[in-house]
A = this chain, B = another copy of it.
Amino acid sequence: METLAKRSKEASNVLQHVNSEEKSVVLLKMIKELDKKRPEIFEANKLDKENADKLVKAGTLSTSLYKRLDLVSGDKFSTMLQGISDIEKLEDPTGKITYANKLDEGLELYRVTSPVGVLLVIFEARPEVVVNISALAIKSGNAVILKGGKESINTLNALTNAIRTALVDTAIPQNAIQLVETREKIKELLDLDKYIDLVIPRGSNNLVRFVQENTRIPVLGHADGLCTVYVDKDADVEKAKRIVLDSKVNYPAACNSAETLLVHREILSSHLLPIIKTLLEANVKLHLDQEILFYLSSSSSLSIDNNPLIQLCENKDFDTEFLDLEIAVKVVDDLNSAIQHINLHGSKHTDSIVTNNKEAAKRFMQGVDSAGVYWNASTRFADGFRYGFGAEVGVSTNKTHARGPVGLEGLVIYKYKLFGTGHIVSEFGEGEGMKQYLHQKIDNFDQIL
């Protein structure tokens, strides 16, 4: 594995010199080569599906995982190729000047975005991720080591072969894209912080946690997606109903779905009751706190007896990512209690307030320490494509580097380029004949190479 990682680092060093045009050439060649190799890739995918089918029948593989393996049905393959084309059209995230300062006559400092280096991407199930990630890595000038799920190993090999064939006779070395097959190798790779600069786990909570706990390399990702909608006392009831419903039922398995609903005590009859009715109609199971249950039992408009969708919540429900048609519901005293609850129980992913009160929205958006803080909008908007990034590397709940949905910008860092004409530090300082730093902002980037 060390040899493999070292080869990636060498490829990364070559990639530092590759320009935007050369990257585009490679991405367009990738599309052609994948299209040309479509029969072999479909053959490999068929083999993976046959093997998986046996496991499904033996009860050791879920049908949902089986479905995700498939690359043949519908327009999956052409969507995959379209994805490369979309990434090719995005702006190159490297070579951007983000700081420029004239330190002295003939001494100019530029901060320029540059690739992170070598990425390790670990993913499960969907084999087309290998193509998507390769395209993102090339566009951002990074080398990548890919580790996919073992169920799709034949498809992954066929896809990777096509991609590596496309790299022949281009500015980018083949080792910029490398595939690792066996799961046992992951731990070994996670130790190679000398060669690998960033790990991106895309998959289950367990996978992400395992990676976070077994490496010194920075990890970009999120284990949990515990999002909350807070319905404030000044909320519009129709908006509250729409937003809670969409946040929960639009795609319950997504990390940006709501798992907790907080409601201000003063609006139980005016707001909570219609929201609960809406959720029950959508077949959402409700974990309600004692106060809400008591309120409902004394309210004549909704019968809760023997309703299998209604149950008393437990404390752990507010720390649970249901990923299903289930939600925990709690009454709070006020806005501050809502903020405190979210900062304590949430996963710093995305949280939304429904209110017509601008001051309450402001306080919520400042006080909630999450990657996304929303006012009168569904938590489901937390997504790189919806945010307008054109591509998504993943969603991060980190507090450093990249936070929230991460586009290509998350795959770059910067370096400082200093252009001098023989400058030395000992000529600067206090006292007679010493130079002073100018520190003038540069607006015209002529000097930069």
Is the CB–CB distance between A117 and B422 below 8 Å? no
Chain B positions within 8 Å of A212 at CB level:
216
A77 within 8 A of B: no
A197 within 8 A of B: yes
Specify how many copies of this chain sit in the oligomer: 2
Among A35-49, those with CB < 8 Å from B are none
Task: Mark each residue of chain A from 250 to 270: 1 if its CB lies under 8 Å from any CB of chain B, else 0.
Answer: 100000000000000000000
Is the CB–CB distance between B381 and A103 below 8 Å? yes
The listed residue (B216, B372, B377, B420) touching A376 by CB distance below 8 A is: B420
Is the CB–CB distance between A218 and B218 below 8 Å? yes
A68 within 8 A of B: no
The listed residue (B216, B386, B405) touching A213 by CB distance below 8 A is: B216
The listed residue (B116, B415, B439) touching A373 by CB distance below 8 A is: B415
Chain B residue at minimal CB-CB distance from A101: B388
Interface size classification for chain A: 35 or more
Is the CB–CB distance between A371 and B250 below 8 Å? no
Is the CB–CB distance between A365 and B216 below 8 Å? no
Is the CB–CB distance between A239 and B422 below 8 Å? yes
Tell me the minimal C-beta distance from A447 to chain B in angstroms: 10
Chain B positions within 8 Å of A218 at CB level:
218, 398-401
Tell me the minimal C-beta distance from A211 to chain B in angstroms: 11
Is the CB–CB distance between B109 and A371 below 8 Å? no
The listed residue (B216, B238, B375) touching A419 by CB distance below 8 A is: B375
Is the CB–CB distance between B415 and A404 below 8 Å? yes
Chain B positions within 8 Å of A417 at CB level:
365, 373-375
A89 within 8 A of B: no
Given A449-B361, A449-B365, answer yes or no on A375-B420 (Cβ-Cβ < 8 Å). Answer: yes
A358 within 8 A of B: yes
Q: Most B CB atoms within 10 A — which of A218, A378, A416, A439?
A: A416
Given A17-B363, A386-B437, A388-B437, answer yes or no on A381-B423 (Cβ-Cβ < 8 Å). Answer: yes
Among A393-433, those with CB < 8 Å from B are 398-405, 413-426, 428
Tell me the minimal C-beta distance from A385 to chain B in angstroms: 8
Among A220-236, those with CB < 8 Å from B are 220, 236
A246 within 8 A of B: yes
A13 within 8 A of B: yes
A173 within 8 A of B: no
Chain B positions within 8 Å of A239 at CB level:
421-422
A380 within 8 A of B: yes
Among A179-217, those with CB < 8 Å from B are 197-198, 212-213, 216
Is the CB–CB distance between B400 and A369 below 8 Å? no
Give the docked Cα–Cα distance between A242 and B421 (Å): 11
Chain B positions within 8 Å of A365 at CB level:
417, 449
Q: Most B CB atoms within 10 A — which of A243, A376, A380?
A: A376
Give the docked Cα–Cα distance between A148 and B423 (Å): 36
- 10 CB contacts below 8 A, A to B, read A13-B340, A16-B369, A107-B377, A107-B381, A250-B426, A373-B415, A374-B420, A386-B428, A401-B413, A403-B414
Question: Interface residues, chain A, CB within 8 Å of chain B?
Answer: 12-13, 16-17, 101, 103, 107, 109, 116-117, 197-198, 212-213, 216, 218, 220, 236, 238-239, 242-243, 245-246, 250, 339-340, 343, 358, 361-363, 365-367, 369-378, 380-382, 386-388, 398-405, 413-426, 428, 437, 439, 449
